[in-house]
Amino acid sequence: MSAPLLDSAPAWLAFCPRCAAPLVTRRVVDRPRRACPACGYVHFTDPKVGVGVLVVEDGRVLLVRRAVGPERGKWSLPAGFLDQGEDPAATAAREALEETGLTVAIEGLLDVFYNPPGRGGASIFILYRARRVAGEPTAGDDADEARFFPLDALPDLAFASTRAAIARLREESSADLAD
């Protein structure tokens, strides 16, 4: 649990963004945080939020190979970071288009995943079920390859959230076969 506590008071934040006085570390709302003795400003380190899509066709899942860090060269679900003010579902669909060339329709929320800190990427990952509306897999943006993989022949996967989502998908598909 030490990493999240350390992350709550980033030392690189030296000066108050409101009044420019030097910040100090003190305990605020149960954690050490960077705070301003001059004006009372407190810096809250908000979680990094990622959004992505799970597109499955004929038992195959759409994945992209990451062209940038973290976890460069491994495969993940099409996804991106959510910026302030963005709608998560619309952003997930846009990231899918940018990374895979597929126009997708969001069908619903699959789940919200937690990635432990330390390896980069999003700490909170919102994953939607989506289906292809148009397009063929063509890599772009942060991806250098995009294709569908059978669930029994998956490549090296990036991120705990991707692995958790794929593991669940495999459980569901084996449950369907057992029905």
SS3 12: coil
Residue spans of beta strands (DSSP E) within 29-173: 31-35, 49-57, 60-66, 75-76, 79-81, 103-114, 124-134, 143-150
Nearer to Zn ion, 18 or 27 (CB): 18
26, 32 contact by CB (below 8 A): yes
Q: Which of 98, 136, 145, 171 is catalytic?
A: 145
Per CB under 5 A, contacts with Zn ion among 9-38 are: 16, 18-19, 21, 36, 38
Nearer to Zn ion, 41 or 149 (CB): 41
Q: How far is the CB of 40 from Zn ion (least distance, A)?
A: 7
Largest CA distance in the chain: 66
Binding mask 39-78 for Zn ion (x = CB under 5 A): x-x-------------------------------------
125, 88 contact by CB (below 8 A): no
Nearer to Zn ion, 40 or 150 (CB): 40
Catalytic-residue membership of 99 = no
User: Six-digit token pair at 33?
Assistant: 């945080």
Residues belonging to the active site? 145
| Residues in touch with Zn ion (CB under 5 A) | 16, 18-19, 21, 36, 38-39, 41
